Amino acid sequence: MPRACILLSRCREEGRHLRSLDTTPAGGPELPAANRDFTLPSSHSASMRALERTMARIAPTSIPVLLVGECGTGKAFVAHHIHELSSRHDEPLVKAICSGLTAEAVAGHFGSSADNRGNGATGRGTLFLKEISELSGASQRSLLYSIPEGDPGPGGDFDGLRLISSTTVDLEEEVSAGRFRRELYYRLKGVCLHLPPLRERKEDVPGLSELLLTKHSKLQGRPRPSLDSDDLRLLQEWDWPGNIRELENVIKQIVILNDAKSVLLELVEVPKEHRSDVPEWSSPALKAATRAASRRVEEQLILDALTKTRWNRKRAAQDLQISYKSLLSKLKQIGGKPGKP
């Protein structure tokens, strides 16, 4: 039996046992440990330095924050950074993915029902609403009615719970098109922070890369690889259409393979419009080996995510930051069946 099938079979057996022990609270999970261990490095970008100054000023308050930026620009890390700088850093930071958030789940975060205005939040933590534009109409109504009536307290405090929302779309256009409630938009937009894409702050790539190497070496329990000047130059020359998320995926592969050169050869093969001046130091045989290594890394990352989520494919797809359909397709490719274990 192929190695992938054996590993998948073991994952299924482990998943059956671990799902019975699942104690994830119904109100939503705290931000993953991987994000809690990650702190934003000092930026060399003027736009990011300005953003950092704004974050430092608003963090001690409780004013709602709306984070706007392309996919993968680090909105979850910024939410975590604001939370850590605030007086509520010892309280929970809970992430809610809005695409699957029911009206009842929204109300539950505020200790209210979906049909009645709440009397305030339970606790003094931070609620991070990821991709707020994907809330259904019923969930938008529930959120609007769950936020306590009246003006917020000093600093924008809604009875203890701080709201941070993120979006990749223009919410004003969504409001104009009637897809998002205008009143809710203004309640959430206490301060709006626009995150620049990584291609506009390439001077930050070396610092981010070093930080991500440390993070994933710790998470994977593997030696921390080092990057030489050629590696860093190649990383800076790439345009990173997937932003920090794409950079992080590359760094994960470097940590798992412990071979930066092999992983970075993948960037050599990409269309020229995504790179500036990539050195020609690859060979056909080495390219083939790199592709095979990349497939092995992808397989291992999928199996790790399935094990971590107790074979919950939807949660695994979210952790891997791919669609559920893509995960099922990849499972078929490596010998797994998409059916329930």
Nearest-5° angle of CA 150, CA 86, CA 243? 105
199-333 adopts what CATH topology? Answer: Helicase, Ruva Protein; domain 3 (1.10.8)
Superfamily of domain 33-196: P-loop containing nucleotide triphosphate hydrolases (3.40.50.300)
How far apart, in Å, are the Cα atoms of 66 and each of 15, 28, 170?
37, 20, 11
Domain residues of the chain, as ranges? 33-196, 199-333
Is the distance from CB of 95 to CB of 76 less than 8 angstroms? yes
Whole-number pLDDT of residue 19? 34
Q: Read off φ and ψ for residue 65, nearest 5 degrees.
A: -125, 135
Q: Which residue has the tokens 């999928």?
A: 302
Whole-number pLDDT of residue 147? 83
Length of the chain in terms of residues written: 341
Whole-number pLDDT of residue 124? 76
Residues 49-75: what's their mean pLDDT?
Answer: 94
Share above pLDDT 90 across residues of the chain, in percent, rounded to a whole number: 46
Residues 34-52: what's their mean pLDDT?
Answer: 74
More confident residue, 75 or 110: 75
Whole-number pLDDT of residue 153? 52
Q: What is the pLDDT of residues 177-187, one digit of tens each?
A: 999 999 999 99
Task: Say whether pLDDT at 306 is over 90.
Answer: no
pTM for this entry: 0.66
Q: What is the pLDDT of residues 255-303, one digit of tens each?
A: 998 889 888 887 766 554 544 443 444 444 444 544 555 666 778 788 8
Whole-number pLDDT of residue 330? 81
Whole-number pLDDT of residue 3? 40
Task: Label residue 331 by pLDDT band (50, 70, 90).
Answer: confident
| d(C-alpha 99, C-alpha 222), whole Å | 35
